[in-house]
Structure 1
Amino acid sequence: MGVVAGDGDLPLILANKARADGAEVYIAALKGFANQDWHGFETQTFAVEDMAAMCVWFHDVGADAVTFAGSVKRPDFDYFQPDNLAVSAQDALHGAAQQGDDALLRAVISIFEQAGFSVIGLDDIAPDYLVKTGLWGRKSAYGGTEADCLRASEIARTIGAMDIGQGAVVAKGVVLAVEAQEGTAAMLSRCAALPAALRGTQKNRCGVFAKWAKPEQDRRIDLPVIGMATIKAVAEAGLSGLVLEAGGVILLNPEAIYETAERLGLFILGVQAEA
C-alpha cells in the first residue's frame, strides 16, 4: 500500500495500522508538508505536483492501493505545473481547481485510479478512528445546547454542500463563525477573540463547534480531522463542546481526546447524518 503523506499525525497513524495488519507500506512524503519520522518505512520525497512520478514509484515497489493522509496547502494554480502528466489530466486539474477543493481532490483521485491503483480511505484501514454515534467527555455540559448543536450542524452541512468549509460555531442561536480556507484553528482563534458575552468563558461555557464532512465529497480523502489541538482550542474559546458527524470525522487518538474533553469540561456528541 502507498501512502501519500502530508502534514500532521494521521499519515503515520494509518501507515502503522496498515503495517500492523500485514500490509507492505510505502511512503510518498510530500515535500514541504510531510514532517513525520518515517524511520523503518521505505520512503521517497516528492513535490506536490509530481503525481506521475509518485505513480511510477508506487508501481516499481509493488503497491496496488494508495491512500491520502495529512494536510496540504492548496497550490497556486497560476503557477502549478504537474510534471509528466498527460495534457488531459493537467487540464482536468486546472479546471477542477476553479470549482473548489472537492472537485480538485476528485481529479487527483482520478489520476491515481487511471494509473491502475485502488484508492482507499481511512474506513478501509483504521475505522476505529472515525467518530461513533454517542456522547462522550463531560456529558453534563451537553444540557441546554441541543438547539445550538442542531443549528451549527445545519450550517456546517450547508457550507460543506457549497464546498466552502466543514465547520461552524453557534452560541445561543447566534452564528459566531464559519470555516473557509483559513481552517479550523484560525476560525476557533477568531472565536476566542470575541467578547465573552457572545461565546462564554472557561468558567461559564456557552456555544458549540460543529464539524461535518462535506455531503457530496469523496470520503476516501480529506475527511475532517479532530486532534488534541482542536479540543484545547474549543476549550480556550469558552465553548461547551463539539458536535461531529459520526462516520464522517476522524479523531486522532480517540480515547485521549475523550479524556481531555472530560478534563476540560467539554462534551463530544457524535451524530449520524440523515440518509
Structure 2
Amino acid sequence: MQKQNNLAVVETPKFELAVLDGANQENLEELIKENFGDVEITSIFDRVKFPTGGALNFELPGEDPENPVLVPEIVGVILDHHRVNAYWPGEFTGEGNPPQCYSHDGVHGMGNPGGLCATCPLNKPGTKGEKRKACKNMWKLYVLTSGEAFPMELTLPPTSLNAFYRFLKAFTFRNRLKLHQAVVKIGLKRVKNANNIPYAEATFAVVEKLGDEQYGKVKEYAEALKPILRRPPAIRPSEAAVDIPAEEVAQGDQAFEELPF
C-alpha cells in the first residue's frame, strides 16, 4: 500500500490578516503609483535571503543593512509564485555578478542569448557538466506574513525546487486546498550533496486553514496583486535581483533533478 503523504500541521500563533480591504488591481496599482512613483513593484517588498553553508536561518532586511535579521522560519500565506531563470556565462559568485540573461517568468529570457527558455540550449541538462544546466532555474514566492500589508519576496534556489514541488502536490491532491487558502511555515533543513558538503533546503508545512472570511479577503488581494507581480520588470538583466547565494547555486547544480512542471 502506498504511504500517505499528508502535509503536517504545525502549531504557531494565530495569523493576523492586514490586507487592503476591497483591493482590486486598478486601485492597488493606482495607490502604489501614487505613493511610490515609477519604481518596480517588487522593489518595495522586503527580500528574504537564503542561507549559505548549511546555515538554518533566513536573512531579513533590518534597520541596519549590515546587520540583517536572522529567522529560522517564515510563516504566512503564499499569495503567488512563479519561475525565474538566470544565466551567468562564468561561475555565479554572488552579489556584484549579475546575470547575462534573465527571465522573470521562466518562459521568455531578456539579455544574451534571450528568447524562449524552453528551446534555449543553455537551459538543457548537460550544458555545464554531466547534469548541470548553464541556466539556473529558480522559483519566487510572495509570502504575506501576519500583520503585514505587503508580501515578502523569497527566491528558492535550485536545491529547493523539488521540495516545493512535493509540497504543491500534497497541498493540492491530499489537502485539496488552494495555495492562498492556508497559512504555511517555510523552514530549513541541513542536507549534504554527493561530495558531503552541507547546504540548506527549504521545508514546508501547513499551519492552519484560513476561515471563509479571511480567505475571501486574501483571495481578492492575491488576484489584484498577481498581474502586477507577473508583469516583466522594465530593467536590464544586469539589474535583476537574484537573492540566492553563490554556494547554493553550485549545490543546486550538483543536486539537480529535472522538474516535471
| Structure with bigger gyration radius | 1
| TM-score for both structures, normalised by structure 2 | 0.29
Structure whose residues are more often strand by fraction: 2
Structure whose residues are more often helix by fraction: 1
Higher RCO (C-alpha 8 Å, min separation 6): 2
